[in-house]
Amino acid sequence: MAGAGIKLFTDGSILTAAQVNTYLQDQVIMRFANSATRDAAFGGVGEPLLAEGMFCYLDDTNTLQSYNGSAWVNVVNSTNPPAVELVTGITCSSGGTAANGVVTVGSAQTSVTIGNAFSSTYQDYRIVYTGGVANTSLYLSLTLGSANTGYYGSLYGASYGAGTPIGIGINNGSAWLYAGLATTSYTQLDCDVFMPNLARNTNISSKWSFNLTNIGYSTFTGEHAALTQHTGFTITSTGGNMTGGIIRVYGYRNSL
């Protein structure tokens, strides 16, 4: 009988063992199936009134909430970190298969196209691709939706030992060409994408270790100069193909 909710006890009523176990012992924090069930439990005939400082747990969203005197507000979501959430509804139209927010890349793919990644739920996102390999050392490029122009950016890097830093620019290119890296040992794309679902320019910030000609570290920042709302993206290998690994998309929460 866990999840019974809340009960208003009155003088002279019989307190059963089940009520002690579910309303008192197991329910120090009130537990409800969803917000509708929670809202229906207060304010009616024979029901308690809402009071500031009350807590509840919602089963459908795995969310702990508190009542601040005027509204229920989230304290924490028990299945995700406080700052980011996995976008579980992403799809994959080519290059892999999607399930429960994870895209598994197929064998010898030159590109992977992902949809339903960006929405109004979040403003900023993080894309991560790890665990795969390439048939040669190559860059991984990123495009937004069907846009194939208006990409600007700069790559900066240096080897760990010493040597001259490298710098490469993109001026109105067809993609962000240096969003990540793939070698015969690993794939690495770890980038933040800012405001892709808003009708304004989208920015990117990516970082990765490299081993194309020597070992070092690079950062790539860029802008897509178009007032366009995007819902998906494509990762493309330049001069080779990629096999395996998983791609995940996370949304940065706008608020807790």
pLDDT, tens digit (0-9, with 9 covering 90-100), for 48-72: 888 888 888 988 888 888 888 888 9
The string of pLDDT tens digits covering residues 203-246 is: 999 988 765 555 577 889 999 999 999 999 999 999 999 999 99
Question: What is the block-wise mean pLDDT of the chain (256 residues), using blocks of 10 residues?
Answer: 69 83 70 92 87 87 87 71 82 96 97 97 96 94 97 87 80 95 92 96 89 69 96 96 97 79
Ranges for all domains in the chain classified under CATH 2.60.120: 84-252
164: buried, middle or exposed (CB in 10 Å: 19+, 13-18, 0-12)?
exposed
Q: CATH fold of 17-77, please?
A: YefM-like fold (3.40.1620)
The CATH 3.40.1620 domain(s) of the chain lie at 17-77
The pLDDT assigned to 61 comes to 82
84-252 to CATH, choices 1.10.3470, 2.60.120, 3.40.109, 1.10.150 = 2.60.120
| Nearest of 110, 112, 92, 111 to residue 102 by alpha carbon | 92
